[in-house]
Amino acid sequence: MHTEIDIFDEPIGRISKMCELMGLGAEFDSKLPELETYLEGLVAEGETSEERLTVSGLTFVKRAQQASGSLQAGSGE
């Protein structure tokens, strides 16, 4: 019997919910592949706390949103 435990399910679900509440739903959807890669890197470094993965992932999405916002703001010049 093969059982797969995905440590990312709970953090990604929480991050998705928080992004929706903060109005970043579209940003979450577009950054999901990069977010998964980022979280995989944290787990590879030894992080196993779902709460820490959630906070780190939320920070990742927020920074990505801020970076894309500053790029868009700068493109009008």
Contact residues for 48 (Cβ-Cβ < 8 A; gap 6+): 7
d(CA 22, CA 11): 16
In a domain, 75, yes or no: no
Assigned domain for 10 exists: no
Domain assignment present for residue 42? The answer is: yes
Answer yes or no: is pLDDT of 8 > 50: yes
> How many Å separate Cα 35 from the centre of its chain?
4
Is there a domain that residue 69 lies in? no
Instruction: Report yes or no on 25 lying in a domain.
Output: yes
Place of tokens 């980022």: 38
Does 58 map to a domain?
A: no
Pairwise CA distance, residues 45 & 26, whole Å = 29
Proportion of the chain above pLDDT 90, given as a percent: 57
Reading the block at residue 34, the tokens are 């990069």
pTM beyond cutoff 0.85: no
Residue 77 has pLDDT above 50, yes or no: no
* pLDDT, position 2: 57
pLDDT at 31 over 80: yes
Give the total number of structural domains in the chain.
1
